[in-house]
Structure 1
Amino acid sequence: MAEVVCIGLASIDIIGFARHPIVTGVKNTDFKVRSSSGGIVRNIAENLARLLGPGHVELLSCVGDDPQGQMLLRDCRAAGLGCEQVQVTQALPTSVFMGITSPDGEMYFGAADGEITSYITPEYLNRHQKLLHQAQVLLICPTLPAATLDYIRQNYGDKPIFLDIGAPALAEPTAACLDMLHTLKANQQEAQALTGETDLDRIADQVLARGVQNLCVTLGPGGSYWASQDGRTRYSPPPLSHAVSATGAGDAFTAGLLYSFLQGLSSRATLEFSTACANLALQSEETVNPALSLAAVQAVLKQ
């Protein structure tokens, strides 16, 4: 049975890569456009499956009964990510995320259609009780329906639960989940939106006071910050010479957090390992770098 069950959005990512500075209000023609399987929870799950190998990670999600949904399921299987329990509906099309990256690889703009997550209901999860009960760790997302989050809290609140905020706009639903979380991951903008604070230690004070055991804040080129009841640490890695796309870097980082937890790594080693995962993601146009593996991450760590 899978050690990690990931519950949340799966989508198709359509990303435009700008070759020159973006000009608003007019048509920008010098772009390269690529599509790949995405969705924050699915991305994290695929990255983790590439680290752990087949059979260790299971996805609970919903896709449309359409070619995009079939593409998602096919890509999950190819990566060793369990997706046999993903439900397929004719009621809605598969979710799509559209993003634009600037020439330096940073996300300039993104828009997501996540309506299909409304089909990830308590009734759906209840059909997979055995899978959930046997999992060592759960990953959830704040876009799940409130009733589904309550179901998880009531039935699986004793398990380590991880959550990646994913966007500043999701700070409010995330706040309602803090009491059930083992580990919360956010970037700096998301952490500020959640707490109204800019100082990392004050952010941590607020989050830990709400019951979260571990907080990880990613700081872009500035590294990452870890806080728990046992202490706080900051990791500043050597700068990268070039990034192709930052679209999937945060998801790869969170997969690194989950892997590190399963391996019992220290907070410092966790940040180093997770950063190496993110660095590999930065080198790919695809949301999940198909070259990511445990061996590839270990090679980055040795550099």
Structure 2
Amino acid sequence: MTDREKEILEILKENPMISQQELADKLSITRSSTAVHITNLMKKGYIRGKGYILKKDNYITVIGGSNIDIQGVPKNPLVMFDSNPGKVDISLGGVGRNIADNIRRLGVSTKLISAVGNDLYGNQILSECKSYGIDVDDCYISNEYSTSIYVSILNNSSDMHVAISHMDILDKLDLSYIQSKHQHINDSLAIIIDTNLSEEVINFITTNYSHIPIFIDTVSTSKCMKIKNITGRFNTIKLNQYEAESLSGIKINNLEDVKLCSKYFLDTGVKNVFITLGKNGVFCANEQKSIHVKGVKIDIVSATGAGDAFTSALVYSHLNDFDLEYSAKFSMAASIIALSHKNTINPNMSVDYINKILEEKILC
């Protein structure tokens, strides 16, 4: 949202029935300019129809996994088939929940639709999400299934070596449950889903809410295959190199390969493609241009959660009309913040902190 649009929105909150001419006079701009701003606010979903009826809440909806993350890090090089001395941390996780958490820390009203068990971990997830200001009223709470648990083992360089994900409870986010949340989903400014959802649910959401920008986090090389035949339905797709290779069938060995891979996704109908390349940065593309943003050398505390932070920042970038290059750089800064903390979510995540990292490490 532009500064002028924010100014107009504040005036409309005080006087929803004000005329365009009165608005123009109040802002010392032409009536035609006012009309353009009003149209843009309607397109973005901040106001509805005649009379400038404001939405009660402007929020995004995240639909996906929530779980408890258990992460082990060895003190020395990892030895397979043996017990390794090290450190174990427990924190809230799940791709969908992580994205919702990061977006909320960026000041965006956020609704999370996920599934948890009626158990200690499930109650902890709901309680902490509420304390951060995340709306969890539409989460499914099961008396039958336990809350999902994600166990990851890092090597002594803090890169994930192997992980096991127990997420059977997400079967409860089935078609009928998602359909029961139609009005809340339909009122969203944007929808973010992860591929922990079933193919049936992903297909339903992308078919029935195509009028709303939909973002997808592909999660893993195996789970991303659920969207192979429907990638064109997404406004924005964020993948790592291996997920991009799996979906496109194109092996990435150099930047020309990445460009070819991005074109594959654009040709399916995706509006924006972001392929993260680890230490080599990120490659992004839309119909107008493609850009490679070089990586930044940093000390990594934990690689878990960087992708979720990147996706969250992409959503924020969309809501604030950032261009392709700045969206990539803003999102890279968010991932750097995630990489600098032991937990999946860096509690210091904020727009101000992202801007600080941008100035110090990326825009300099």
| Coarse TM-score class (shorter-chain normalised) | over 0.9
- Unaligned 5+ runs, structure 2: 1-56
| Aligned mate of 2:137, from 64, 79, 84 | 84
User: Which residue is equivalent to 2:180?
Assistant: 127
Segment drifting more, 4-13 vs 78-87: 78-87
The reply on whether 1:220 has 2:274 as its aligned counterpart is no
Relative contact order, higher structure (CA 8 A, sep 6+):
1
Distance 2:329 2:282 in 1: 9
1:255 maps onto 2:305 in alignment: no
Shift of 1:35: 0.6
The alignment's C-alpha RMSD in Å is: 1.2
Q: Is the 8 A contact 1:65 1:89 kept in 2?
A: yes
The structure that has the greater radius of gyration is 2
Aligned residue number for residue 300 of structure 2: 243
Match of 1:13 in 2: 69
Which one-letter code corresponds to 2:334 in the other structure?
C
Partners of 1:171 and 1:44 lie apart in 2 by 17
Q: Secondary structure at the match of 2:222?
A: helix
Q: 1:39 aligns with which of 55, 75, 94?
A: 94
Deviation per CA, 1:23-66, whole angstroms, max 9, x where unpaired? 111111x210011110001101100100025xx11000110010
Letter in 2 for 1:191: A
* 1:108 Cα deviation from its structure 2 partner: 1.1
Question: 1:2 Cα deviation (Å)?
Answer: 4.3
* Cα deviation digits, residues 85-122 of structure 1 (max 9, x gap): 11100111001100011122111111111211111122
Question: What is the CA–CA distance in structure 1 between the aligned matches of 2:141 and 2:268, rounded to whole Å?
Answer: 36
Contact 1:63–1:116, Cα closer than 8 Å, also in 2: yes
1:72 matched residue in structure 2: 125
Q: Is the 8 A contact 2:278 2:295 kept in 1?
A: no
The corresponding residue for 1:201 is: 259
Q: Conserved in 2, the CA contact under 8 Å of 1:149 and 1:177?
A: no
| Identity rate, percent | 29
TM-score (norm 2): 0.80
1:146 is aligned to 2:199: yes
**1:62 pairs with one of 88, 96, 115:** 115
Distance 1:176 1:14 in 2: 33
Contact 1:8-1:41 at 8 Å conserved across structures: yes
**Which contiguous aligned blocks of 4+ residues in structure 1 show a shift greater than 6 angstroms?**
none
Supply the distance in 2 between the matched residues of 1:232 and 1:150 (Cα, whole angstroms).
28
Distance in 2 between the 1:234 and 1:168 partners?
Answer: 22
Within a 5 Å distance, the mapping from 1:282-297 to structure 2 comes to 282-297=339-354
* SS of corresponding position for 2:133: coil
SS in 2 for 1:70: helix
